[in-house]
Amino acid sequence: MPTAPTTRFTNLKLEPLYNPTQAAQFDVALPPNVSYAHGTVLGEISAEPGTFKAYAAANTDGTQTARVVLVYDVSTDANGNVTFTNTEGQVGDEFGGVERSAPVYFAGTFATQDLVGLDAAAAVSLGRLVQGTIDAGVLRMG
């Protein structure tokens, strides 16, 4: 019997700051072999509509424009299958199951300090800063 757990699920989730019933989400595909934390700002890959990866202003593949924010910690395998965890290398849940997509928010009100990779350009693309600053404020999406 193993002495250390082999499967770890954190269930860490980005929660809206205000009015959680007004936060809207849908599911997206992610590229193979990535791990992202909940709250990661994502952009859509132009050559692969419906597939999103981490936003970066310097990118030139479509992900230079922020579109959505990741709900849960996720990792993907070589086929792009999604496991809801932040444990590196973990593939599948306790039953070996994986998902083909991950939920993202496209609308809602969030604390900016909870958003990974947010910068001024991403804030404009996603919505608007309604209070404070990029480092400590409130962003309204959608």
Rounded Cα distance between 60 and 37, Å, is 22
Rounded Cα distance between 106 and 100, Å, is 19
Rounded Cα distance between 17 and 51, Å, is 26
Q: Helix H segments across 10-79?
A: none
Q: Which two tokens stand for residue 93?
A: 């849940």
Q: Which whole number is the average pLDDT over 125-137? A: 96
Question: What's this model's pTM, rounded to 2 decimal places?
Answer: 0.88
pLDDT at residue 87 greater than cutoff 80? no
pLDDT digits (tens, 9 = 90+) for 37-68: 999 999 999 999 999 999 999 999 999 999 99
Q: Percentage of the chain with pLDDT > 70? A: 85
